Each structure stands twice: as C-alpha cells, then as structure tokens.
Amino acid sequence: MKTEINGSTLELMTGDITKVKTDAIVNAANGTLMGGGGVDGAIHRAAGKKLLEECKQVREKQLNGEKLPTGKAVITGGYHLPAKHVIHTVGPVWNECDEDQEELLAGCYDHSLKLAAEINASSIAFPSISTGVYSFPIDLAAKIALQTITDFLMTYDFGRVMMVLFSQKDYEIYAAALKRNDRAIGE
C-alpha cells in the first residue's frame, strides 16, 4: 500500500528489513546499542561485526559511555546490509501508567527522519518500533508512527519512507491506520 504526501511516498510492506535496499534502515535498538533480540539482533547479524564496533565507538564518543536515551537516534554505517546506513533508536517500553510514551515513540520516528535528512538520504525503512518485546499496543503505535511520518513529509521534501512490517496482521493494522490518516489529511 502506498500514499503520496507532499511529493514523497509513504509505503507499507511486509518483509525482512535487513533485505531492503535503501539509504537507511531504522533499528529498534536497546539503549546499549550492543545488539539484542528481534529486529535489533537481526540487523546486527546481517550487518556483521563492524556494526557492533561502530556502535561501541558511538556510545563512547557521542554518548559519553551512556545508553542512548529513549526517543533519540544515532546513525552508523550499514556494512553488509543493502542499506547504506543504520539509524538506531530506542523505543519506549509500554506501561500504561507512563504519560510520555506516545511522545517518546513519536520522537523515535521524528529523530530518525531528521537524521536521514541530515545525510541527504532520500529513502528510509522503519520497523514497527516498540511493538514486539516492548509491548506497545500496535494500533496506537501505527497511528503515532504514520502521523509522525506524515507531519515530517508535509514539512520536508524527502523521497520514500517505507514501513517494513513483520507479519500480515501487522500490515493490516498499519494499512487501516494509514487509511484513517489519509482521510484526516484530506479533511
């Protein structure tokens, strides 16, 4: 499913984000940047050992040895991936008592897109951030992701943004959210 927004394309697809040929893919990372499970582990395995080495350098030099804060993003090379760059962002762990989770999730998408624009990327692929082991409700995550991407594309001439979804069920949830989002834009 595709939609045009201010001359750019927002596309939904199912598949393996590590196989997408694009300027940048987004890694739903943990704050250590050392790899992990899910998308994070898959990206680290596909990119090879040099990604981990660069992540260690980023953590030491850019983050002063600290973890990457939730909602923020950093960029590395793509190494053995078909993507030129990996943008690492840390999504919020769902806890319905926390009031800032939606803002933090939106920050993941916004900061990633702005980093991509800074390196003159014209294509980027996102996973569904925080909806796996971090348990963010996917209906809400889809709404936040698509609205944040749309807001960015209404402001910036970018190119192509892809949401690469793990399952057909996830795709259907995002497709329904995109249809609601398109109607809201048209109003």
Between CA 148 and CA 124 the distance in angstroms is 14
Give first-to-last CA distance, the chain, whole Å.
21
Give every CB contact of residue 126 below 8 A, 6+ residues apart in sequence: 17, 25, 26, 109, 112, 145, 149, 161, 162, 163, 164
Annotated catalytic, 139? Answer: no
Q: Which of 40, 110, 151, 182 is catalytic?
A: 40
Between CA 29 and CA 68 the distance in angstroms is 9
Active-site residue set: 40
